[in-house]
Chain A
């Protein structure tokens, strides 16, 4: 009985070894050939005027460097997409939340989150979105998306999060 149990454990370990090993091989192979041609989008995804489309296809998040509120090239490109979407769907409005990582004090982070939300808002206004369609709110470090205390997680939390209505 005991032996049988042990052999089951051994099998499980082997299986585990296989499953952890497998993705590495796949990744190595997948990296080699050029990407396959992109198929024409099928009309099965979210409707282009939907909030889901805004969040997943346009992209509702931009990130910031530590204690900074300037928008890098990636953020600007994302926000240009947000501005184009807002111009295409004039009934939509946006609330921009400014968030910070945990490596700051509460009150300063409220000010920094306000700066970040307004950096996003001002960029969208410069792209031609009417200011009265854009609201801002700072959450400082109160609403992280990730709670691990490392730079990867902190980088995710330093964000401007746009919620379309």
Chain B
């Protein structure tokens, strides 16, 4: 048990000694319906999580700040100014004076604490209160190494988000992307990884080989991506924990556009031979390969449906590139995109909820790119973002937010943005260098 726990901690995991402080009420009165178009952000009070030393006090301040920033960036919450608070919550057991919090118009209150335990680990705990009814909606404690305080803050933010919206959160996640530097005609590109809020940034490759299009495994600490290592463009796997890189099979031509299957045991990708690109899958355990398309067109950007039954992909088999959906064995390909304005469609990515496919559209009628979504049958197409170049949408694990990259004309900066499925709440994700090809991780285990 202890050994397993140590192993978990070494891997950066948080031992969730989840303690339900009191059972949450069977119904939550404070609710946000985020399926509607535009939501008025909910006022929420997040005081400093008190601790009984300067060090713990500082950590409690940082924890509260990370939680507030996560919730604020979601566009669904409006954390209130701590300076306006009338009551100091000195411990987790102090009863909130709800009348005081109501005068600030707070609808929800997060009461927390940071303690040090006998084993040297810290314990971060919180209660989420419905200010109007005075009822506790959620309460939990997390024991972990002090170094993991940030992750715990994201986990608390996820619990607050899910309790109030009824949807799972997406704050305890990471983003892998391509960091760009140097002149446009000879760009240096490196794999980089960071938390979804931009913290804990690090580079995974040194830039000596051109790398593109990283994608997270839905089940483990692995990335699949394209590398021009030794000037041969091939699909590779990268283990984030061990740093181990491995080429995905040996092919006579280029392999590219990789994406994991929903169970993490397979990868779908394009392989080019004599100028023709078709879609294949490979089982990572048996290395068995299956060819899914056999067409003189460019068939690329495969993405599985979350239940693994179907794939969506881009193909120019009809003249210009459009979006198709086929069965997982390659049968019954159906075109689903029929946009106006001489639209070309690309980069289809199936939502983790299964209900939508995110796409990039290029309209040669106006020369702009668009990020949009459509249902898997092609109906209900909506545009979420547009620009001179916007490309490569990636879904938050709850299917509520898309991240993508944008670039201005004349070799302008490449930058990452996120936007809600509603088309509101566009935010830039600040990175140390230029950034493209983002890929969102699942919720961390």
Which residues of A pack against B, CB within 8 Å? 67, 69, 102-108, 110-112, 114-115, 117-119, 122, 137-138, 142-149
Contacts and interface: CB of A to CB of B under 8 A. Distances in A.
Given A114-B253, A138-B233, A149-B388, A107 B270 contact: yes
Which of B187, B300, B320, B388 has the largest number of chain A CB atoms within 10 A? Answer: B300
Interface stretch (B71-79, B112-120, B158-166, B272-280): B272-280
Contacts of A117: 275
B391 A142 contact: no
B257 interface: yes
Contact of B185 (A112, A118, A137, A147): A147
Contacts of A106: 212-213, 391-392, 437
B242 to A, nearest CB: 28
B389 A102 contact: yes
Contact of A148 (B226, B254, B389, B410): B410
B411 interface: yes
A111 B255 CA distance: 10
A107 B270 CA distance: 9
Contacts of A105: 301, 346-347, 360, 362, 391-392
Nearest to B408: A149
Nearest to A119: B275
Contacts of A145: 185
Contacts of A103: 362, 364, 367
A114 B256 CA distance: 11
Contacts of B240: none
Interface of B: 184-187, 210, 212-213, 226, 231-233, 253-254, 256-257, 270, 272, 274-277, 298, 300-301, 314, 316, 320-321, 344, 346-347, 360, 362, 364, 367, 388-389, 391-392, 409-411, 437
A80 to B, nearest CB: 20
A108 B210 contact: no
B254 A114 contact: yes
Nearest to A111: B298
Given A105-B362, A111-B270, A147-B411, A118 B275 contact: yes
Contacts of B253: 114
Given A105-B347, A105-B391, A108-B346, A115 B360 contact: no
11 contacts: A102-B389, A105-B301, A110-B300, A111-B272, A115-B276, A117-B275, A122-B275, A137-B233, A147-B185, A147-B410, A147-B411
A142 B213 contact: no
B301 A108 contact: yes
A108 B300 contact: yes
B320 to A, nearest CB: 7
Which of B185, B232, B254 has the largest number of chain A CB atoms within 10 A? Answer: B254
B186 to A, nearest CB: 7
Given A122-B275, A143-B185, A147-B184, A137 B231 contact: yes
A150 to B, nearest CB: 9
B55 to A, nearest CB: 46
A107 B300 contact: yes
B233 A110 contact: yes
A114 B275 contact: yes
A145 B187 CA distance: 12
A149 B410 contact: yes
Which of A69, A108, A114 has the largest number of chain B CB atoms within 10 A? Answer: A108
Contacts of B301: 105, 107-108
